[in-house]
Chain A
């Protein structure tokens, strides 16, 4: 009985593939439309995931730059170092003498000539401080405390941009959600119409099957398979579009990241997200077909 059921489903599955292959242009067109529709929200989602991970990296080890006064002496540096050791929120710190900073500047930005022409080193001594604080309020308190030290000229910690980025990401997420909802409805509508046309052309087959004892689920089955397979193909198309898109962006990003000495590599869709995309697209196709079949099949009653 189970074997019969399996062969039955296998037969319908291959029959559906054959049916798709018999009108390849139509099939490819609707698969492409579905792929593009699905790739839009998914693509934005991937970009946001990337932004999120970049901002997450920054936020997970907050960095504070501590610039000393231009005329800071050796004992001033020692004093600051002593204070830094006493602050419990600080995990680690790194001292960058002004000479080192100047050499780094020369090397990294190709301004050797200009820097060499300077009468004296314009850069201050600096500390880079790593803290374990994550909350922007406590970070701000820490910044203010260090700012009040007499040897310190300027403390820079830009927590505002992370807050802004997070707010933007939140906004982006609702845009993705809206876009995904609208385009999902569009895909269901496309599938609804495709199946409606198929039911019309298969009128005879449906009527005859009913006459010789086919149950509704038997008649529904090929249409549901068709919807799910076409939805899945749309999902695969969307997946390919996104992977190709990220690949292209990464290639364009490479020279840019070399220029800025900041390594960004866009992440591809994760395995879990890929599977979700494919399952969801198959489900959308199935759902469109299911609604279509439910609203058209009862009209075909043999007389």
Chain B
């Protein structure tokens, strides 16, 4: 599903964020990526959605080399992926419903199908009663769930989450992890970056560990 071969990312100022990364995530797998802040977790996730481009190496998503992807093809790659951003990236001048609607508008869904899908997604994350509410009035946990609803509403095959439990209480964090597991159970490939060790204590899923831009064994 996701394959990295000798992938490196160096910034113009000479800083090496990722150094010769090799990894493979199988379809339907759920994988954790850990490491200290600044280890390159976010960079690695952004490479998958072509938000950042690699300096060298090959990145394949469902067999397509995205290191060579043309600019015009990037939007269509991103539509296959649900991305939960570390800084949420919600639109604060639109209500909960409209925030979740955005990916469907972008993919030209007709409004009736779109509305029922938005409600289904909101129901899954438990925000159905708050569809008219502006994100500013939501709690931290609710905002995170809103981000998840927006990431899954277009039914992507890959779900990527960057520090999804960042500033949340342990209970909230557990809820959210349970959601990811349920998406994974219906076949979605899930790739989660976190520095929260407590999340990983009793997991049976594979854990990749990044240290200073390199994958540790």
Contact = CB atoms under 8 A, between A and B. Distances in A.
Given A204-B91, A205-B91, A214 B51 contact: no
Contact of B110 (A3, A211, A302, A303): A3
Contacts of B77: 213
A8 B105 CA distance: 7
Interface in B6-52: 49, 51-52
Q: What are the nearest 3 A-B pairs in CB distance?
A: A213-B78, A213-B79, A4-B110
B108 A8 contact: yes
B75 A213 contact: yes
Contacts of A218: 75, 106
Interface in B70-102: 72, 75-79, 83, 85, 89-91, 102
Interface residues of B, number: 24
Interface residues of A, number: 22
Contacts, number: 55
A213 B110 contact: no
B83 A11 contact: no
B51 A213 contact: no
B106 A209 contact: yes
Contacts of B106: 209, 212-215, 218
Nearest to B90: A208
B213 interface: no
A3 B112 CA distance: 11
A5 interface: yes
B54 interface: no
Nearest to A6: B110
Interface string B166-198: 000000000000000000000000000000000
Most chain B beta carbons < 10 A, residue from A207, A210, A211, A303: A211
B11 to A, nearest CB: 11
B108 A212 contact: no
